[in-house]
Amino acid sequence: MSTSALELKDIYKSFDSGSKQVLDGLSFTVAENEFVSIIGPSGSGKTTLFQLIGGLEKPTSGEVWISGKPTTGSRGHIAYMPQQASLMPWRSVAANIELALQVAGVERKASGIAAREWLDRIGLLEYADSYPHVLSGGMQQRVSFLRALLSPQPLMLLDEPFGALDALTRQQMQRWLMEIWEQNKRSVLLVTHSIEEALLLSDRIMVLSSAPAVLLEEIEVPFARPRSPQLWKEPLFNELKQQIQDLLQ
Ligand SMILES: Nc1ncnc2c1ncn2[C@@H]1O[C@H](COP(=O)(O)OP(=O)(O)OP(=O)(O)O)[C@@H](O)[C@H]1O
Ligand SMILES: [Mg+2]
């Protein structure tokens, strides 16, 4: 049996000495190289769940296992891409990528070459020597995603990575992320408020209730990969979208 990238075992979390119950017994797994999305109402506890998985918070009860090891309450086991790109403003774009590669164990000299190859692959080679503030929001998110992708931890957590982008840029980023991920598979857990985004990108979707959050439904997304950007035209896409919308009502 292969080990899961992530296993959550009956996670409960409350704040304010138990008076605020947020997570109410969550259990699910993310398989190796699987792309799983979490959808749930605002305030249902999604970011709290990420903080538990990342070890920044401890569950009231329950366990977090990453790559087959118990990691509850301990840090350093995940790659994290926050909602706002968090690049180091005093380092050039290339130097931001080089650092991620060096942290992953690539030697200094090789990291310089690899960083430029990666920037070329994501269409940003001409910005290699620029500083992050010169990039548009979408470009910064591409670099931020690349940094998470290149970091050594096998599990990536993406907390609404495209939430701050305009609709068109967001769509372009979704396609771009899908292509990069299909060529460089990693285990991903993505929080999103967009049902379309979840259907386009994921292998499975976890639908959470409002707080205290329980798993309402786990939906297998049956579309073959590589996925077409025209997926939304398929009847099954719209059926699943409706099903998730109904769950969230
Ligand atoms: N440190 C804390 N102390 C007290 N309450 C907290 C703390 N952190 C989170 N909460 C509460 O837990 C609940 C869930 O918050 P959380 O940020 O996890 O929701 P979310 O699902 O990520 O929402 P959104 O979709 O709006 O980002 C909220 O009611 C929030 O106020
Ligand atoms: Mg949140």
pLDDT band of residue 166 (cuts 50, 70, 90) is confident
The domains found in the chain, sorted by start residue, are: 6-77+156-248 (3.40.50.300), 88-152 (no CATH)
CA–centroid distance, residue 209 to ligand 2 (Å): 14
The pLDDT tens digits of the residues spanning 29-51 come to 999 999 999 999 999 999 999 99
CA–centroid distance, residue 80 to ligand 1 (Å): 18
Residue nearest to atom 9 of ligand 1 (CA): 48
pLDDT, position 70: 97
Cβ of residue 46 lying under 6 Å from some atom of ligand 1:
yes
pLDDT band of residue 86 (cuts 50, 70, 90) is confident
pLDDT band of residue 83 (cuts 50, 70, 90) is confident
Residue nearest to atom 5 of ligand 1 (CA): 15
- Mean per-residue pLDDT for 155-166? 90
CA–centroid distance, residue 104 to ligand 2 (Å): 28
pLDDT, position 121: 87
Distances (CA, A) of 15 to 59, 207, 208, 220: 10, 22, 19, 32
Residue nearest to atom 25 of ligand 1 (CA): 42
Ligand of minimum distance to the alpha carbon of 40? 1
Among 11, 47, 197, name the best residue to mutate to test ligand 1's pocket (greatest count of ligand atoms within 8 A of Cβ).
47
Cβ of residue 47 lying under 6 Å from some atom of ligand 1:
yes
188 bridge partner residues: 35, 156
Angstrom distance (rounded) from CA 175 to CA 168:
11
Helix H or strand E segment including 172? helix 167-183
Cβ of residue 161 lying under 6 Å from some atom of ligand 1:
no
Q: Give the mean pLDDT of the chain.
A: 94
Angstrom distance (rounded) from CA 38 to CA 206:
5
Cβ of residue 43 lying under 6 Å from some atom of ligand 1:
yes
SS3 101: helix
Please check the confidence at residue 157 and state whether its pLDDT lies above 80.
yes
Asked which of 13-17, 39-43, 226-230 is least confident by mean pLDDT, the reply is 226-230
SS3 48: helix
Angstrom distance (rounded) from CA 104 to CA 100:
6
CA–centroid distance, residue 171 to ligand 1 (Å): 27
- Mean per-residue pLDDT for 173-184? 90
CA–centroid distance, residue 107 to ligand 2 (Å): 36
Burial label for 42, CB within 10 Å (0-12, 13-18, 19+), is exposed
Please check the confidence at residue 1 and state whether its pLDDT lies above 70.
no
- Mean per-residue pLDDT for 21-27? 97
Q: Among residues of the chain, what percentage have pLDDT more than 70? A: 100
pLDDT, position 113: 96
Cβ of residue 44 lying under 6 Å from some atom of ligand 1:
yes
pLDDT, position 137: 87
pLDDT, position 131: 97
213 close to 24: Cβ distance less than 8 angstroms: yes
